[in-house]
Structure 1
Amino acid sequence: MIYIIMGVSGCGKSALGAFLSEKLGWPLHEGDSFHPQGNIEKMARSEPLTDQDRLPWLLKLHEVIERERSSGSDALVACSALKRLYRQILLHGSKAFPSSGPDQDGLPASSPDVCFLFLYGDYDLIQQRMVVRRGHYMKADLLRSQFDVLEPPLDKENVLPLDIRRSITDMAMEVEKHIVSLKLSPRP
């Protein structure tokens, strides 16, 4: 199973990912470490990334996800995945590009072995968290741009929503319950 921990910057993706990685013994692929240097510099200058900026990054993460899936491993991936198109690229790679033709619309919205953990919360709470965090290139003044482009995932995208007002421990327990429920339910 692959869990993609998603949400706007500052919602706690890395913290939850590290906690789950330690607890479950699963590898964590931190999406931030796959950004090209140009993207990091742009965000450090408080410039929002464009779709074009994100595409190479998303394709690299798709490769990581595919490698883990083909090996049959369980893994965690922390990635904002703000738009439906981004989530489709994570699942399907370049086949998800709108220019790929008529088949793009026929791509499944989800995969049974990939689940999105959507960390959600209100702007003020996340902005407060971002103001106090140190050592991250993504500045709090870019948070509004992330909320502006956020397309919350739909149920058909195989999503487990997690309210960030809850503790990391509580959210991790909910993920563990989800894992158990998947093991108990028959696969199609």
Structure 2
Amino acid sequence: MPDAVLVMGVSGAGKSTVGAMLASELGWKFYDADDYHPEENRMKMRNGVPLSDQDRIPWLCNLHDILLRDTASGQRVVLACSALKKMYRDILIRGKDSAPLKCEESKEEKLGEVQLLVVHLSGSFKVISGRLLQRKGHFMPPELLQSQFETLEPPTAPENFIQISVDKTLSEIVTRVTETLKMK
């Protein structure tokens, strides 16, 4: 069984909601990657500026370190994170050595891989933009959704992943993930 589950997708796909419910169901620790963005990244997004790889890579390396620290101590983890590109998911799994632009030195002495199941919440632009318009108080403006769809590289083999439609109910999504975990 994987040590961690990454719930990924574009803004408005339901990552935080699904991730929190899944972690609760499994009794695992939950992290929302948005909580770890530096203030500069939040300001860019608030101002409608898409983040670059240079903005994301240190953030992703930090998330890898958190996953590695927890899973190394036996704590299983659910992470809600957009992780739109394969390169971003590779950094979450392998850390700074898979980053084309090097991160600052990792706090972890040993490099390690996180055994990760990627759950891709997928949906049409129309459905997800409708959800974003309903959302209040989030720093990600709906105008940036198009750039997220353009950036998205859906997971493919050999990545360990499942794809689930956002049209499913929350409980259907969580059940599908927990059933998949039992088979891994």
Do they fold alike, i.e. is TM over 0.5?
yes
The match for 2:91 is: 89
Task: Tell me the amino acid that sits aligned with residue 58 of structure 2.
Answer: P
* Distance in 1 separating the partners of 2:28 and 2:114: 18
Task: State the partner residue of 2:126.
Answer: 124
C-alpha separation between the residues in 1 aligned to 2:158 and 2:45?
31
Q: Which runs of 5+ in 2 are unaligned?
A: 103-112
* Superposed counterparts of 1:8-87, under 5 Å: 8-87=10-89
Name the structure 1 match of 2:164.
162
TM-score, length of structure 2 as denominator length: 0.89
**Is contact 2:68-2:114 (8 Å) kept?**
no
> 1 or 2, which has the higher helix percentage?
1
**Alignment partners' CA distance in 2, 1:5 and 1:160:** 10
RMSD: 1.4
Q: Percent identity?
A: 38
User: Residues 35-81 of structure 1: CA distance to partner in whole angstroms, max 9, x if unpaired?
Assistant: 00000011011110011110111011011111122112211001100
Q: Which residue of 2 aligns with 1:149?
A: 151
Q: TM-score, normalised by structure 1?
A: 0.88
Per the TM alignment, residue 113 of structure 1 is displaced from its structure 2 partner at its CA by 2.5
What amino acid is the match of 2:9?
A: G
Contact 2:90–2:98 under 8 Å retained in 1: yes
Distance in 1 (CA, whole Å) between partners of 2:123 and 2:157 is: 18
| Partner Cα separation in structure 2 for residue 134 and residue 97 of structure 1 | 33
2:57–2:101 contact (8 Å) kept in structure 1: no
Distance in 2 (CA, whole Å) between partners of 1:125 and 1:166 is 12
1:112 to partner: Cα distance: 7.9
How far apart are 1:155 and its partner, in Å?
2.6
- Tell me the SS of whatever aligns to 2:174: helix
1:97 Cα deviation after fit: 2.2
Q: How many equivalent pairs are there?
A: 172
Is there any run of 5+ residues in structure 1 with no aligned partner, and where?
101-110, 183-188
